[in-house]
Amino acid sequence: MHKPERDRYTSTAIVLHWLIALLLLGQFVFGLMLDDIPRGTPERGMYVNLHKSSGILIGLLIVLRLAWRLMHAPPPLPDSMPPWQRHVARLSHAVLYLCMLILPLSGYLASNFSKHGIKFFNLVRLPPWGPDDRALYVLFNQTHHIAALLLALFVGLHVLAVGKHMLIDRDGLLWRMWPRRAVRRIRRHAGLPLENR
């Protein structure tokens, strides 16, 4: 495993973090909007297949991110953080990764236990490799639903935690996950020294 830079994430980790965060937000809203499209209409089939297709691509990006993370240790947490906060931070990051994996996986599994399967971007039909099994479909669909809610909850807590670090602890935690050039520009404008954080 590569040694971390003293106080920031690698550029690849930063790009993947923000790209996936944006895509997940869009995919989440897209998922909620599916509820408004009447069942059994061709329109619904078209949008559900778009959701499935973009979800699969996001899932692949998430696997890439996790692989990168397993090969590159994150920078150590600030020394000022008490042990309980370190535990909570590690645990909540693990829950975020878990939700990020379970969401596309449960959607993919549900689709393969339904006769509809997946029509990739409404162009290429990927026939289901599983039987049309209502009970399994419902199980994975419920898992999808719960993972989506859990992700929203933990992203909310994640943002609150970063807010606390920035506004109360004032340890500049956000800049560890922000492109170095942008941080330098902000520091230059604020008349602060140009170190990493």
Contact residues toward ligand HEM (CB under 6 A) are: 17, 21, 24-25, 27-28, 31-32, 34, 48, 51-52, 55-56, 58-59, 69, 74, 77, 93, 96-97, 100, 103-104, 107-108, 111, 118, 141, 144-145, 148, 155, 158-159, 162, 173-174, 176-177
Specify the residue, 118 or 183, whose C-beta has the smaller distance to ligand HEM.
Answer: 118
Specify the residue, 107 or 183, whose C-beta has the smaller distance to ligand HEM.
Answer: 107
Specify the residue, 59 or 183, whose C-beta has the smaller distance to ligand HEM.
Answer: 59
Specify the residue, 12 or 185, whose C-beta has the smaller distance to ligand HEM.
Answer: 12
For the CB of residue 171, give the shortest distance to ligand HEM in the complex, in Å. Answer: 9
Q: Which residue is nearest to ligand HEM (CB)?
A: 31
Q: Which two tokens stand for residue 184?
A: 């330098």
Q: DSSP of 119-152, one letter per residue?
A: EETTTEEE--SS---HHHHHHHHHHHHHHHHHHH
For the CB of residue 50, give the shortest distance to ligand HEM in the complex, in Å. Answer: 10
For the CB of residue 193, give the shortest distance to ligand HEM in the complex, in Å. Answer: 20
Q: How many helices (H) and strands (E) does the chain have?
A: 5, 2
For the CB of residue 48, give the shortest distance to ligand HEM in the complex, in Å. Answer: 5
Specify the residue, 132 or 191, whose C-beta has the smaller distance to ligand HEM.
Answer: 132
Q: Phi, psi at residue 81, to the nearest 5°?
A: -80, 125
Closest CA to 9 of 101, 87, 93: 93
Residue with tokens 């690849």: 12
Q: What angle do CA 105, 101, 28 make, to 5 degrees?
A: 85
Q: Which two tokens stand for residue 94?
A: 């693990």
172: left (phi over 0), alpha (psi -120 to 50) or beta: left
